[in-house]
Each structure stands twice: as structure tokens, then as C-alpha cells.
Structure 1
Amino acid sequence: MSWQEKLDNTRDQLRGLNKTIPDTTRAFGALGKAVKEGGTLDFKTKEFVALGIAVAKQCEACIALHIEALIKSGATRDEISDVLSMTIQMGGGPAMMYAAKALECFDELSD
């Protein structure tokens, strides 16, 4: 499955979840908005943190969503790679495997 297909499937799954538990998903969305709009760090930096966590937690859907947001924010392959290096340092072998997936996702979605 391509990363674009994974993004599309993830959005379909989230739409279904939104219909089933709208109060919860709306509250989660409000939390995300508050976190990304407030504070000291800029949006792109916060997305780099989110990508690192997504890789460390081995969440492919999260990786795709945060890579997409980073591409829209103008992140470069070198910046993504630097974040992935730090994630590997902190997460070891499992992080390395998902870092490879994240870089593949960046390459596919940024074409």
C-alpha cells in the first residue's frame, strides 16, 4: 500500500470514528489546535516533535499525517532526516526501522 493510500484510509477510518464518538474526537481536535497554536515553538517544530514520537511509537498512520503536515510546512528532506537521526538515537533499532518508513513516506508524498 502506498503512503497516499495509507493517508486516505486513515482519513476514512477517522471519519467513521468521528461519527461514532463525535464529542471525544471534537475534544481531541480542540486539544490539537490549542497545542499547535499556543506556546513558544512554531508549528513546524511541533510537527518535528510529533514525527519523532510517531516513529518511536511505531504508528504508521501518525507518521503519514505528520510527514504530510511537515511537507505543507516546507520541511526539507535534510530536516526530516535530522529529526529521524535523533529519534533513532533515542529509540534504537525499532526506531531505525520506522525512521526508514518515515523517510520513504516523505520521498513519496513530496514528489
Structure 2
Amino acid sequence: MLNWLDYRKQLAGRIGQFAKLSPGTVQGYQTLSRAGASTGHLDAKTRELIALAVSVTTRCDGCITVHTAEAVKLGATRDEIAEALGVAVALNAGAAMVYSARTLDAVDAYSAAAQAA
């Protein structure tokens, strides 16, 4: 697959280059990243488990490497991570079902419009 440790280092370097080109963008991202943690309602490990599930649903390798490293550092077990990933899989399937229903609704709307024309 991927050498995740090397990939994370390479990614950090490229993001550093991007930060020089567009510092406001990276600063804004960092502000967003810190905002959730400031409430204190969830612990850091739980936030990282959520981040991993979202990383899978958005198909972001960069997110996966960063949040896996943090989750492991915060003591998340392989079993906890697998459970979080299971939620991501369930939601992706659920989202596909919801959007399938929406698509069928669109089909009905277009079919009705075509018949009325």
C-alpha cells in the first residue's frame, strides 16, 4: 500500500510550501482545526476517532495518515479505530441509500415533466 510514515513527512513538507504561498488559507484551516477542541466536550482521542471516520468517508489519505498518528499517540486501540471505521462504512452505505432515494425522486420529477410536455 503506502508508506504512511514517509507520506506524512512528505505531506507536511508540501503543506509547508503551500503555507508560504497562501499563509491565510493555512492559518484559517488551523483555526478551524483548533476550534472544536476549545469546547472541551470531547476528549482528544474521541475527536481523532471521529476524524478517522470522516477521513474514510472523504477518501483523504492525508487525513488518514495525520489522524491515525494522532489517534495512536493518544492511545486509541486498533479495536477502537476499527469500530470508528465501521461507523464510516455504515454511514457511506446509508448515504448511498439516501441519495439513491433522492435520485429516484429526481427520475419521477423528470418523467412527470416529460409526460406533461
> Fold-level match, TM-score > 0.5?
yes
Structure with greater contact order relative to length (CA < 8 Å, sep ≥ 6): 1
TM-score after normalising by structure 1: 0.77
Q: Percent identity?
A: 30
Indicate the residue corresponding to 1:31 in structure 2.
32
Give the length in aligned residue pairs: 92
Structure 2 segments unaligned to the other structure (5+ residues): 94-117
Moved more, 12-21 or 30-39: 30-39
Q: Which has the larger radius of gyration?
A: 2
Aligned to 1:98: none
Question: Superposition pairs for residues 1-111 of structure 1, below 5 Å?
Answer: 1-92=2-93
Query: How many angstroms apart in 1 are the aligned matches of 2:57 and 2:28?
Result: 25
Cα RMSD between the aligned structures? 1.2
- TM-score of the pair, normalised by structure 2: 0.73
State how far apart, in whole Å, the 2-side matches of 1:25 and 1:5 are.
22
Give yes or no for contact 1:54–1:60 (8 Å, CA) kept in 2: yes
Deviation at 1:39, TM superposition (A): 4.1
Q: Deviations over 1:61-86 (max 9, x none)?
A: 11000001101111111101111111
Distance in 1 between the 2:90 and 2:70 partners? 23
Q: Partners in 2 of 1:91 and 1:28 — Cα distance? A: 25
Shift of 1:37: 2.8
Q: Which structure 1 segments of 5+ residues have no match?
A: 93-111
